[in-house]
Amino acid sequence: MLTREELNLPKYGEKVIQFGEGNFLRCFFDWQLDIINKNTDLNAGVAVVRPIDFDAVPLLDTQDGLYTAIIRGINESGEVVKDYTIISSINREIPIYKNFQEYLQLAHNPEMRFIVSNTTEAGIAFSAEDKYEDAPQSTFPGKLTRLMHERFVTFNGDMTKGFILMPCELIDYNGEELRKMVLKYADLWNLGEDFKNWLINGNIWCSTLVDRIVTGYPRGEKEELTKELGYEDNFITTGEYFYLFVIQGPKDILTRELKLEGLNLNILIVEDLKPYKMRKVGILNGAHTAMVPVSYLYGIDTVREAMENDDIRNFIELAIDEEIIPALDMDEKELKEFKDAVVNRFKNPYVKHMLMDISLNSMAKYKSRILPQVLETYKRTGKLPKRLLFSLAALIRFYKGVRENGDAIQLRDDRHHLDMYADLWQENNYENIVKSVLGLENHWDMDLNSVQGMTELVAKYLENIDKNGVKKALEEVK
């Protein structure tokens, strides 16, 4: 069993309130905080709030807040690396549904400064049913408003006793969204203009972009890892080598308060998240979405296998280099470095990323992740990006619902898309199929048949893929 005494590990002064005890924050934020604590005098311990009423998993307190983070993947030099660290940034975990008063006491600690959260995309929500007296409120913003009001009252509205909030939920401009919800609760509960003024001007609401694949508890490897580590750990978490934390907020304040000066951490403090979001969606998510139908029809099942196949790897790398990066407005060197990191992430031997898992709702994903680059490239150069459109043709063929070897494809998308494709593939007329798909104005927000040459090119690729197989068809876009 892990204990601080036995391992001679310090307990840091509590400065961080963290909503969410799950694998992601422990392998992402708490892992970075551990590095900061060990290399600076930040001395920031975390009080974790378990925001849901769930007893099945024991509290982190059963291990003194300690756990092992295993980071595995491919580094910048292309080497496979594996790193084990006992993370000591968490002090305790408070189950809010059992110990609501202990939760409110967090607001009384003058040293508390940071709030982080990961309560899923659905977590930043509002419920008019929540009451100030509830112990606790049903939503995360409701619980947070109650805590922030407790602090406001305790310190008589002192503007220097506000928080720096860094929500990590995967929604656009999450800090702004969270502030909006908290202000709605302040109105709902009539907490007054002074409190609202303190919320807006006495606190720093950062929006964030987080990026790391966290694979969580390594179920199938428990015995082997216990032997390797030499101790039992019920809270092991595993993640990939790559990580990126982009924080939109005041650079001087955040750099000073988080003691980031001189640390080699991949934490970027920026004025606007948008270009970083576009970069991630375009290169990482876009490459995933472009890869899925082409690779799956080829007979490949995982991202790693796709990257080990010369045809697919060349297709993806050329799509990123020649068709995605030129459509993004960012420093080209930065984009190339991000692309290299993405390729290494795709090759990670420790992550088994199934193509069929990524294929969920591919029609919506193509629209949000790839179409912007298709249209931007066309606008800038007058040329159609052939690989991104080959991927669309492969996607249309994918929705035929059968692999080249005759195996059925378990399609997962909105029912109306699936019904439409089932009807279209009855007739096998490639140009009609493509015209119908490109003409879905409600889906694409425009009739893509109006883009000169797109219908003919996608239909040509579709016919080639369907008649000759994707391997042979790929020769057209080398």
Same domain, yes or no: 189 and 284: no
Same domain, yes or no: 239 and 318: no
Same domain, yes or no: 266 and 278: no
Same domain, yes or no: 280 and 263: no
- Point out the domain boundary residue: 219, 242, 270: 270
Q: How far is CA 295 from the centre of its chain?
A: 23
Same domain, yes or no: 345 and 326: yes
Same domain, yes or no: 346 and 225: no
Q: How confident is the model over 279-291, as pLDDT tens digits?
A: 999 999 999 999 9
Report d(CA 338, CA 447) in Å as an integer.
33
Report d(CA 103, CA 151) in Å as an integer.
12
Tell me the CA distances in angstroms from 46 to 60, 286, 442, one per residue in order: 12, 35, 46
- Point out the domain boundary residue: 270, 299, 326: 270
Which CATH number do you get for residue 413?
A: 1.10.1040.10
H or E segment and range at residue 423 = helix 415-427
Q: How confident is the model over 413-442, as pLDDT tens digits?
A: 999 999 999 999 998 899 999 999 999 999
Counting the structural domains of the chain, the total is 2
What range does the domain containing 456 cover? 274-477
Q: Measured in Å, how far apart are the chain's first and last C-alpha atoms?
A: 55
Same domain, yes or no: 265 and 297: no
Same domain, yes or no: 406 and 455: yes
Same domain, yes or no: 208 and 340: no
Same domain, yes or no: 282 and 254: no
Which CATH number do you get for residue 224?
A: 3.40.50.720
3 state DSSP class of 88: coil
Same domain, yes or no: 300 and 251: no
Average confidence (pLDDT) over 62-87: 97
Provide the residue type at 118 as one letter. N
Same domain, yes or no: 332 and 214: no
Q: How confident is the model over 186-230, as pLDDT tens digits?
A: 999 999 999 999 999 999 999 999 999 999 999 899 999 999 999
Residue whose pair of structure tokens reads 């977590």 in the numeric block: 123
Under the banding of pLDDT at 50, 70 and 90, the label for residue 145 is very high
Task: Flag whether pLDDT at 406 surpasses 90.
Answer: yes
Smallest CA-to-CA distance from 65 within 14, 124, 140 is with 14
Q: How confident is the model over 437-459, as pLDDT tens digits?
A: 999 999 999 999 999 999 999 99
